[in-house]
Amino acid sequence: MKTTDNLIYRRQFILISKKIADFTDWRSETIILNNTKLYLYCHDDLEFQKGQNNFFQLYILGYLIDPYNPTYNNEDILSCLLKYKKFDAVINSINKYNGRFAIMYIEKNNIKIINDLTGFREVYYCFTDKSFACGSTPTLISKVLNISKTKNPDITGFFNSDAFKKTNNVWVGYKTLYDDILHLPPNHYLDWKKKQVTRFWPSIPLKTMDIKQCAYECAKIIKGTISGASKRYKIHMGLTAGWDTRLLLSATRENKDSIYYYINKPDVTPKILQDIKISQQLSEKLGFNLNILDIPHYVDKKFRDIYFRNNDLARESLLPVFFNAYQNKWDDTYTLSGTMGNGLARIYMPFPNNVEINGKNIAVFPKYHYQPYAVDALDNWAKEVKIICSDYNIDIMDLYQLEQENAHWASLSASEQDIVREEIRPFNTRYLVELFWSLEKKYRYQYYPIIYIKIMRILWKDVLNFPFNPSWKSSLYKLLRMLNIEQKVYYFYKKKKYIKLLNS
């Protein structure tokens, strides 16, 4: 086990226009752009790969997995990317890759930076009159450039609000706690020379797809992602009684003997006990080992201090889980997660008909409609994407889940977990999301996703012999399903609840 000193800004990086004395023990690279030098510093535990052809250099920070070629590692994928001649071709080619990565595309006089589908590997940037920096967190950039936190009352008010705390720190928009530091949005790349970000996706309109064809394509991608991860890393996989982890479990059939399946037990609650009971049944009947992890509430003070030092938005909730992983010396493991399945693959809720699409009305979903910063940030986003959604046949709530909800809440949990280990999310693949979004919405219903069922039948149909999140609600949903009115009743109820909140 490494000392706790190695946990400071673990797995983070920073690209900056000046040399930094603080990170002499990190990997460093000097990038020359005509007469300008930029300096890249990467923590030793962040995967790094670089290469070049006759047209450009590429730096990969993090990992990529090719679901169609599971034996490929980062070096193999880098070789594939270096077969292209132009940036647009590189962008198009990464659609099929899973991963958590930032890619730096370096030409003679410019550098362009792009990351994965949801910004799972977060990228923040800052242009001032005297300097430039781009890195993993605003916290790191602010430290290096000595930037103070904003005094904007709307932003500070949002950060300190009960609404923000109740959502477990779900940020929105692309500003941060620092006036000059911005978040690189998903589906955009950063152009250093132009000092701007540019949207590159969506690029072609989505067409409605047959569910059978979609299921086979999705099954291939999910299985290939998990197979590729299992060939390269020690995989730990958390289980619950829910849909997302069950789908991923079905894709592990051929790798079940090499995966460490687990359930965290921080408290004895009905939900936790249900997850344990059903996962034990799955384990016994399907022939894999299940580990139940008792999570103590105690967290070492030095570990706690570094955890909150690494990220301004870090939360208390999962800190004991991360400390437990640290104590178990799981630094070299990758945890496989179903995060982002609900929201990207499964539909949370369509935007209500006859309601204007604007910042305030979108802010109702996270209950931020009384927060000026959130309303303004979402209004700016909505003005841009309304036309995009119309032109490319995309539901605005799907794009909201991708570019706002998961780009902040889900990516934050990965950034927090960097202190102990990396994470793999098989849903974080652009082509996979395009497939899900090409289906009729009735197949992606949150509480009975038919597309999931069809995928599981292809991969390991026995996982369907066990209940999903059983409760009185699920029994009611089943009855309504038998009457063929489940989705209609559910969305009517959700809309009624939304309108009540909107008018409150």
- The string of pLDDT tens digits covering residues 293-321 is 999 999 999 999 999 999 999 999 999 99
C-alpha triplet 410, 454, 227: angle, nearest 5°? 60
Whether residue 147 lies inside any domain: the answer is: yes
Domain assignment of residue 353, yes or no: no
Distance CA 493, CA 477 (A): 13
Q: Are residues 137 and 286 in the same domain?
A: no
User: Is there a domain that residue 1 lies in?
Assistant: no
Q: Is 399 a domain residue?
A: no
The answer to the question of residue 257 being in a domain is yes
Same domain, 178 and 230: no
How many CA atoms lie within 13 Å of 115's alpha carbon, on the beta-carbon side?
A: 26
Domain of residue 61: give its range: 10-199
**Chain-centroid distance, C-alpha 185:** 12
In this structure, are 155 and 172 located in the same domain? yes
Tell whether 456 and 475 lie within a shared domain. no
Residues 373, 415 within the same domain:
no
Same domain, 386 and 278: no
Structural domain tally of the chain? 4
**Pairing of the two strands 124-127 and 132-135:** antiparallel
Do 241 and 337 sit in the same domain of this protein? yes
> What's the whole-number average pLDDT of the chain?
96
Q: Which residues fall within 8 angstroms of residue 177, CB to CB, at 6 or more apart?
A: 138, 149, 150, 155, 156, 159, 312
Mark whether 452 and 494 lie in a shared domain: no
Pair 381, 461 in one domain: no
Residue 3 confidence (pLDDT): 58
Are 189 and 281 within one domain?
Answer: no
Average pLDDT, 10 consecutive residues per value, the chain (504 residues): 77 96 91 93 97 97 98 98 97 97 96 97 94 97 95 97 94 96 98 97 96 98 98 97 98 97 93 96 98 95 97 95 96 96 91 93 96 98 96 96 94 96 98 98 96 98 97 93 96 94 91
Question: Collapsing DSSP states into helix, strand and coil, what is residue 205?
Answer: coil
The reply to whether 110 falls in a domain is yes
Query: In CATH, what number is assigned to the domain containing residue 293?
Result: 3.40.50.620
CA distances from 132 to 14, 15, 82, 108, 135 (A): 10, 8, 27, 18, 10
Task: Report the CATH number that the domain containing residue 70 is assigned in CATH.
Answer: 3.60.20.10
Domain annotation covers residue 3:
no
pLDDT for 2 equals 47
pLDDT tens digits along 7-28: 999 999 999 999 998 888 899 9
Same structural domain, 195 and 97: yes
Question: How many CA atoms does the CB half-sphere of 275 hold within 13 Å?
Answer: 24
| C-alpha 255, offset from chain centre | 24
264 within a domain of the structure (yes/no): yes
Domain final position from 156, 175, 199: 199
Q: Are residues 438 and 303 in the same domain?
A: yes
Per-residue pLDDT at 425: 98
